[in-house]
Structure 1
Amino acid sequence: MKPLLVLCIYLSAFMLLSACAQESGTILAQKELVQEKAEIPVFPDVPAQQFSWITEDGGQSQLDFNPRVDILFVTDNSDSMKTAQANLIKNLNRFTNGITSNKMIDYHIGVISTWDSSERFAKAKKDTYQMGDLRFAKTVAGTETQERFVTKKDSAAVLANTLKIGIAPYSEGGPEVEEFFSPLTAALQKNGRGAANEDFFRDDAQLVVIFMTDADDSSNITSEQIAQTLIDFKGGNKDKVSVYGVLVDKNDADTNKDFGLRVRPDYHPECFTPDKKKRISGCGPFGPANIEKAIVLANQGNGTEKEIRKKFIMSIISPNFGAELGSMGDSITVKTLAKQIYLSQIPRVDESGKLMLRVRYGTPDLLTQGKGQLIANKINGGWTYDNSSNSVKLSGDIKYDYKEGARFAVDLVPIPLAN
């Protein structure tokens, strides 16, 4: 092909492409101009969403507030417990202050004594109480009544006299090899109609057991068994059970312990050589290991083992006996006043992330009018929402404006149900 012809072809193609590019640019510019001149859409105003608040059914019994607690002392009445019982009575007001002074709490307080399964004990013991029988309450003058336990209608003096069961010396048939788990088990079984402990234990009440001894349990019931027995007794609800101990520590001096915990050849021959003259290194000291283990197992869910021991076990020889006893009573009060309310619908969360949920406390008339004490949404001294159970949990340290017959109302905006 001739060079001139080739050149002409290239020039023609170049001019054609340039024209196309120009035209494309012109069309694009025209489209942009049209878009600029197009009107911006205007949408009608949408009114703010209106939420309908509802109040949970006030007829549900779970909105009532009748906190109940059944407190059972399992008290050692052997020779060595005279001083410990005196300390209990002397500081009893510090223990009961929060429980008895709170008008809301409906309490039962009773006491059973230790047991000894030996033949000697069965023949020699002087009182008529059988294993697990609640001791009779006592009047202000100290005489026995026909009641087996103390209630909020009784005075502080009646409670003190009832808990002061005294000691039964060994020489007069008192216990030697103390058992605590067996009489406790028997006490739970004697709650039926016509039984010795009828009406003491209530289904909806917190169950509190307090072991008070300088010895350990010697029954054939294990720590695991007694802990599970208590939980089963409350329908498997661990939150309804608390077990405390006013005990000696294994590191306390032997003189502060029951003979069975002392490192002596007659009680712990395994700690001595066959001739009983030399103690084997590393054997002992001994403490109420079985009771301590039962306390830890029964209170599982209340922290680590160390935390449980600190909260639920106090020293029977503590120089701060009164203060520690008072802390124990306060702990019982807080747990008794704690409450959980299950909701029938899931509450909505507003745009700021706040739960659309309110909790009020007051008489039915006030609540119906939308009034009553408004309980704060906070961990301490208020309520929190548990998403896993769709429930409101009220802490036990709320300062209520107490009114006779008061209950709760829960107001919420529910999440709409899916179609």
Structure 2
Amino acid sequence: MRHILALSIYLGALALLAACSPESKGLQSQPVVEEQSQPEIPHYDPIASQKFDWIQEDGGQSQLDFNPQVDILFVTDNSDSMKSAQENLARNIDRFTESIVKNKMIDYHIGVVSCWDSTERYAKMNKEPFKVGDLRFVKDLNGRAINKRFFTKADATKDSLAKTLNIGVLAYNQGGPEIEEFFSPLSAALENTGHGATNEGFFRENAQLIVVIMTDADDSTSRVSPEEMAKTLVDFKGGKQDKVAVYGVLVNAKDPDSKKDWDLRIHPKYHPECFDMTGKTPKNNGKCTGFGPDRLEQFVVAANVNSGTPDQIRSKYIMDITSTDFGAGLAKMGNDITVKTLAKEIFLSQRPRVNDQGQLMVRVRYGTEKDLASGKAQVIPQKAIGGWLYDPENNSVHLSGDIKYNYQDGARFAVDLIPLTLKQ
């Protein structure tokens, strides 16, 4: 009889949770379970006939603290065709970082690694003091390298960040890369993170991981597919897909050859299928209309697989490196990263009640301990944009990344609720 009663209680709880507020319907919908005849069916006490006390989730739990972290890694092409693109990035880097830096909540790391070339020629001629996947040194305002591998919230300035991200180019005849690889240095950067390693301290366990690929070429890493590279990133973040995002500042297949690296041009050395090679001089056979960074586009789609259809992902996460509105594209990218970083999920220790008007009896506040105690804390509204929604499956509160916070040092969240109770 006790087992039957427990089952009935569970079914009753599911039925009540289905009546959540209209703002949260998308997250709160539950399948209807058809009740079977039982000897005794318990029911909820009418809210109007009882007085319920609000309880506050433990404010000391780390999940209620709010120290959003983001690690942003640029993987930049330093072949000699990238000079103007790097300069364009340096001129507009403040547009990219504006929303990230302006939000005082975000604890950011920003670093850069260069592309790689695994050919024997590159190994013999390359004289740069960097190994594959090494973070480049931060530069001061005069462009001189200092003994630091990445920027932090505490010490970054716009001008020195611009100089650092402008890593320069290395001409082919001076040992610069010809067959650009992006997956190999990215993989190496993730591996060089242990104690005493080159990139020690850059990647943090709880931080959002953002990768920005910047090139006019495509990836040429052998034995690594775009899907495998995306999986490596997700595995690095403990299997948490929502902790990873990849953006591309790339050429488009429709861009003129003059804007592309040689490997994407209609050129007999790189694309002999486009030419009649029978004569002394190769002749364009007219079969090729243009080449784009296919592998890198596939990588962006695979890494952001939960963000929509492939076309939607490409539209949101890839900007054209030849864009006439380069700064606006960077600003949009930076704002999107900010929203991702500020999104948060808080798990509740008890199921919340729904009142007789169908309203979920949960409230979310943000402020210092003093303001939370005095009732002066900021109240976060229950709504999809600029607020929070309840997830009954995880019994959690999802905070959107576009909430306008009244930032204060040492502030945290408080989640208050009236728990679900049953009549005895």
Q: Same fold (TM over 0.5)?
A: yes
Match for residue 307 of structure 2?
302
Cross-structure match for 1:131: 132
Note the 1:5-84 alignment, pairs <5 A: 48-84=49-85
Q: For 1:247, which of 225, 238, 250 is the aligned residue?
A: 250
Distance 1:418 1:259 in 2: 75
CA deviation vs aligned residue, 1:154-196 (integer Å, no higher than 9, x gap): 2111211111101111111110000000000000000110000
Superposed, which structure 2 residues align to 1:119-268 within 5 Å? 119-153=120-154, 154-220=156-222, 221-268=224-271
- Aligned residue identity for 2:264: L
Distance 2:418 2:51 in 1: 10
Find 1:384's aligned residue among 389, 397, 403.
Answer: 389
* Residue 174 to residue 370, structure 1, CA distance change in 2 (3 Å): same
Q: Which amino acid is 2:246 matched to?
A: V
AA in 2 matched with 1:141: N
Hey, what's the Cα distance between the residues in 2 that align with 1:418 and 1:340?
Answer: 31
Aligned equivalents of 2:366 and 2:402: distance in 1? 14
Unpaired runs of at least 5, structure 2: 1-46
Task: Say yes or no: does 1:360 pair with 2:362.
Answer: no
CA contact (8 A) 1:360 1:371 kept: no
DSSP-derived class of the 1:301 partner: helix
- What amino acid is the match of 1:152? K
Deviation at 1:48, TM superposition (A): 2.6
What SS is found at the alignment partner of 2:49? Answer: coil
Structure 2 CA distance, aligned partners of 1:284 and 1:147?
45
TM-aligned CA deviation for residue 305 of structure 1? 1.2
Letter in 1 for 2:203: F
Q: What is the Cα deviation at residue 389 of structure 1? A: 1.2
Deviation of 1:271 after TM superposition, in Å, equals 2.4
Runs of 4 or more consecutive aligned structure 1 residues displaced over 6 Å after TM superposition: none
Identity among equivalent pairs (%): 59
1:118-163, Cα deviation, whole Å (9 max, x unpaired): 1111111121100000000011121111110011122111211111
Give the C-alpha shift of residue 200 in structure 1: 0.1
Inter-partner Cα distance in structure 2 for 1:230 and 1:270: 34
Quote the Cα distance in structure 2 between the aligned partners of 1:213 and 1:402: 37
| Number of the residue aligned with 2:24 | none
Q: Which has the larger radius of gyration?
A: 1
Q: TM-score, normalised by structure 2?
A: 0.86
| Alignment correspondent of 2:296 | 291
Is this contact kept in 2: 1:136–1:144, CA < 8 A?
A: yes
CA distance in 2, matches of 1:394, 1:418: 32
Q: Report the residue type matching 2:178 in the other structure.
A: E
Q: What residue is the counterpart of 1:326 in the other structure? A: 331
TM-score by length of 1: 0.87
Match of 1:336 among 320, 333, 341: 341
User: What residue in structure 2 maps to residue 8 of structure 1?
Assistant: none
Give the Cα–Cα distance (whole angstroms) in 2 for the partners of residues 61 and 295 of structure 1. Answer: 32
Q: Which runs of 5+ in 1 are unaligned?
A: 1-45
SS of 1:244's equivalent in the other structure is strand
Which structure has more relative contact order (CA 8 Å, sep 6+)? It is: 2
CA distance in 2, matches of 1:171, 1:417: 79
Cα displacement (A) at 1:100: 0.8
Structure 1 CA distance for aligned equivalents of residues 226 and 78 of structure 2 = 21
SS at match of 1:330: helix
Aligned pair 1:411/2:416, yes or no? yes
Amino acid at match of 1:414: P
Deviation (angstroms), 1:308 = 0.7
**Maintained 8 Å contact 1:271/1:284:** no
Question: Following the alignment from structure 1 to structure 2, what is the Cα–Cα distance between the partners of residues 81 and 283?
Answer: 24
Which letter does structure 1 place at the counterpart of 2:395? N
Give the aligned partner of residue 399 of structure 1: 404
